[in-house]
Amino acid sequence: MVNVPRIKVRKAEKFSFRKLIAKMKSGYINYMKKQKRAGMGGGEINISEGKIVISGDNILKVLGAGGAGGKITGGKVTLEGEVRIRKGNFELELPPFQPKMISPLSTEEKEAIRNINIRYPLIPLKPRRGEKIYAYAHIFWNNEHNNLVYNVIEPFISKADIKQLEEIKRILEERLDVDFIKIGDIKAKEILRKELYDIFSTLELTPEKKDTYRYYIERDILGLGKIEALMRDPDIEDISCDGEKVPIYVYHRNPLFGSLITNIMFEDKDELDTFVMKLAQKCGRMLNVAEPLMDGSLPDGSRVQATLGTDIAMKGSNFTIRKFTEKPLTPVHMIEYGTVNALQMAYLWLAIEHRKSILISGGTATGKTSFLNALSLFIRPSLKVVSIEDTPELRLPHPHWVPEVARTAISEEGVKGEVSLFDLLKSSLRQRPDYIIVGEVRGKEAYVLFQQIATGHAGMATIHAASMPQFIDRLTSPPISLPATLIENLDIIVFLVRVKIKEEYARRANEIVEVVGIRGNKPAVETIFKWNPANDKFDIVGKSKVMEDIATILGIPHNMLKDELAARKSVLEWMVENKIYDYRDVANIINTYYSNPDKILSLI
């Protein structure tokens, strides 16, 4: 018998309200029974004169986890967010819903976050001794926002300076008739500085003022203006502007920071519209009122989505930049961040070495491409790899790597000059690749990829699907429309999710499943690893057919394969312990292990 706190209910004026109270009472009692079994403390709920008062430890999770509160339909109560119902003398208040959380931050952890105060250079990124630094990043706790913020610190300029800078830019526009995008950064900077020298010679400016003006003019003309410093930060993944007079947000690679508000914003419509059109120009695309949407790539490979402020953008022009990473994440990062553990990564390492085909599946911002790039480091360096993407995001150290990128139509009429993923994938068949990597499958190119997998080519790709049912629907429905018999040739699917852990967002491999056959005209799968949100650990929940197949092909008993799995796990753990993060260093260790495993194991 489980004792639960006493719940008092006094008569309310409306039957519907009494019915709601009964639902809440029932849900609360059921929840408290579970809490008591788990040895957790309870709380107390008092209902009098139509008012509900909830108190006690752990009460924040009572109705969120218990399934009460929120949207009310037909007497059913579910918690979707903070709920307040006011009518007459009635007031119902429920705590906000808590997303998947392992445990709340301790007082010490909260204090540690509030004490974060990091400052590092952006321009130049790696200053030489004595070299002047023009832009810093400053990440610190802001009491006004009650969160961490990301501030860009640049040389101070007054309103008079801004006015003079605009005049200098106007003179430069009259003097220069050069497409800086086409001639390259070094040549462009040389031409610009020559003209600036001539202009500065006619002005009475201090050397320090000239230096500051030169920085801002090069930033605005050759770079991306206000966000140039953000573009220089290798730890920034995304840059988002939602409209005029709205601070720009960035997404930091460090999971402790996540999404951060910045001190940068576009003050008015004209400034933002001009910037968005400049973005389009840098991408080699057109943006106007007739065609207000734009997808493209910057010269450095960063992916851009922009909308010109017309009737379709209520807050005005907006843009999102997914930055190209020169130093991609590695398997070591994935283990360090907790996306997977070392055993899971060793399992995937073995699978890739033996040319098993893998799809990385997940929703938006779950890190699919980063995970795909990390796995690609396990491909043997002697193998030929062909990667096919819409925008160049993958970065491999393999000497036998052929990166190919789709191209949009050159002509505004028809599809003249267009080279699609489908075209590139068909063409890759004639290149005799050992491994084919597709950035994202979402159309008819999936059919070609799965046909190649069926004929013995190994393949890896990402797909936008959050669960196994969505995954199957995505592949079997238009525009992909794959038959189940082709999906059967896939070996492994990794499902990534974005969850909230200790008040910070993180990415986890929710499931790693294997396709084991066909059942009822649908792919039959076996879940091998599953993430347990209760303790933030990964459980082994199934028997691996992939490992059985590898053992059979090698002609070795399962125990020997387990030993090999354990050896690779120890190599990965050793790299994590020694903080070996650079993708070239990680690739060298993996490649050395292929040729001389004893040499690597002797270091551990």
User: Would you say the C-alpha torsion 368, 369, 373, 378 has a positive or negative sign?
Assistant: positive
Give the CATH number of domain 331-336+356-542.
3.40.50.300
Question: pLDDT higher for 415 or 243?
Answer: 243
| pLDDT score, position 200 | 93
Whether pLDDT at 551 is above 70: yes
Pairing outcome for strands 492-501 and 358-362: parallel
Q: What are the residue boundaries of the structural domains of the chain, listed by start?
A: 7-94, 159-322, 331-336+356-542
Structure tokens at 241: 């502007």
Q: Which of 54-68, 434-448, 580-594 has the highest mean pLDDT?
A: 580-594
With a CB cutoff of 8 Å and minimum separation 6, the contacts of 302 are 231, 321, 322, 323, 324
Question: pLDDT higher for 217 or 87?
Answer: 217
The band of 218, judged by pLDDT with boundaries at 50, 70 and 90, is very high
**Half-sphere exposure of residue 366: CA atoms within 13 angstroms, side-chain side:** 23
The band of 17, judged by pLDDT with boundaries at 50, 70 and 90, is low
Region for residue 432 given its phi and psi (left: phi exceeds 0; alpha: psi -120 to 50; beta: otherwise): left
Closest by CA to 63, choosing from 37, 34, 27, is 27
CA distance 12 to 250: 49
**pTM score:** 0.71
| pLDDT score, position 468 | 93
The β-bridge partners of 261 are 149, 249
| pLDDT score, position 492 | 98
The β-bridge partners of 305 are 295, 320
Whether pLDDT at 6 is above 60: no
Torsion of CA 333, 337, 338, 342, to 10 degrees: 20
What percent of the chain shows pLDDT beyond 90? 56
User: Would you say the C-alpha torsion 12, 17, 18, 24 has a positive or negative sign?
Assistant: negative
Pairing outcome for strands 385-389 and 401-405: parallel
Give the CATH number of domain 159-322.
3.30.450.380
Lowest-pLDDT choice from 61-65, 223-227, 316-320, 334-338? 61-65
Taking residues 262-282, what's their average pLDDT? 94
Taking residues 370-396, what's their average pLDDT? 92
Whether pLDDT at 415 is above 70: no
Region for residue 6 given its phi and psi (left: phi exceeds 0; alpha: psi -120 to 50; beta: otherwise): beta
Whether pLDDT at 411 is above 80: no
What percent of the chain shows pLDDT beyond 70? 79
Contact between 423 and 444 under an 8 Å Cβ cutoff? The reply is: no
**Is 90 strand, coil or helix?**
strand
Taking residues 537-551, what's their average pLDDT? 97
Structure tokens at 206: 């201090």
Question: pLDDT higher for 211 or 312?
Answer: 211
Closest by CA to 530, choosing from 573, 566, 501, 497, is 497
In whole numbers, what is the pLDDT of the chain averaged over residues? 83
105-132 per-position pLDDT tens digit:
566 667 778 889 999 999 999 999 999 9
294-316 per-position pLDDT tens digit:
988 888 888 899 999 877 888 88
Taking residues 266-295, what's their average pLDDT? 91
Lowest-pLDDT choice from 42-51, 391-400, 435-444? 42-51
Taking residues 383-412, what's their average pLDDT? 84
Please write down the HEC assignment for all residues of 450-488.
HHHHHCCCEEEEEEECCCHHHHHHHHHCCCCCCCHHHHC
Whether pLDDT at 73 is above 50: no
Amino acid at 67: G
